[in-house]
Amino acid sequence: MINVYIGYDPREAVAFSVLAYSIQARASEPVAVAPLMLPQLKRVLTRERHPLQSTDFSFSRFLTPHLSGYAGWSVFMDCDMLVLDDIAGLWKLRDERYAVMVVKHDHVPKETTKFLGEPQSKYEKKNWSSVMLFNNAKCRALTPEYVNRATGLELHQFKWLGDDGLIGSLPDRWNHLVGYNAPR
């Protein structure tokens, strides 16, 4: 079973549904899709919303290993995506040497505002956490307690790993940045 967690924000409910459908429609293996909805996580994610938090799932994405019982592998995806290939292809890229695998973008946004009028933040490893393939047992640092108190940069820059050598690379086709990457 391929376990996929999708960030959910009620302002993007349609995007979530489109992504979930695009995954299921092209999958050659069984897939379990779970939305990370804050009302369902209120016993686990207790932190106050931060002014720079642009979506409901800015921090909840890092609960994926905990929600998976720190066992096996799981995929996290932002909801504003579309999967145009069989997700089993992404799943086959799992590499036990790594705790997490991402597309290592060198992305410096030009705009100061992003979708839904939210402020755009510039930081190292921007958009790396948009699609993550978690080796859950190697992500035990991502306890609910840590996710609730860590800064956004500690989470999104993977400081919880303590070693960037534990971050594997995925092909950029699995996290295409529209308007930045060359069109396909």
Between the CA of residue 117 and those of 9, 13, 70, 114, 128, what are the distances in Å?
Answer: 14, 17, 35, 6, 21
Q: How confident is the model at residue 140 (pLDDT cuts 50, 70, 90)?
A: very high
pLDDT of res. 75? 98
Q: How confident is the model at residue 175 (pLDDT cuts 50, 70, 90)?
A: confident
Cβ contacts of residue 39 below 8 Å, gap of 6+?
A: none
Percent of the chain beyond pLDDT 70?
Answer: 85
Rounded mean pLDDT of 22-31? 98
**Rounded Cα distance, 97 and 43, in Å:** 32
pLDDT at residue 111 greater than cutoff 90: no
pLDDT of res. 149? 96
pTM: 0.88
**Rounded Cα distance, 138 and 178, in Å:** 31
pLDDT at residue 110 greater than cutoff 80: no
The count of other CB atoms within 10 Å of the CB of residue 95 is 11
Rounded mean pLDDT of 170-178? 84
Q: How confident is the model at residue 109 (pLDDT cuts 50, 70, 90)?
A: low
Q: What are the pLDDT digits (tens) for 48-105?
A: 887 777 788 999 999 999 999 999 999 999 999 999 999 999 999 999 999 999 999 7
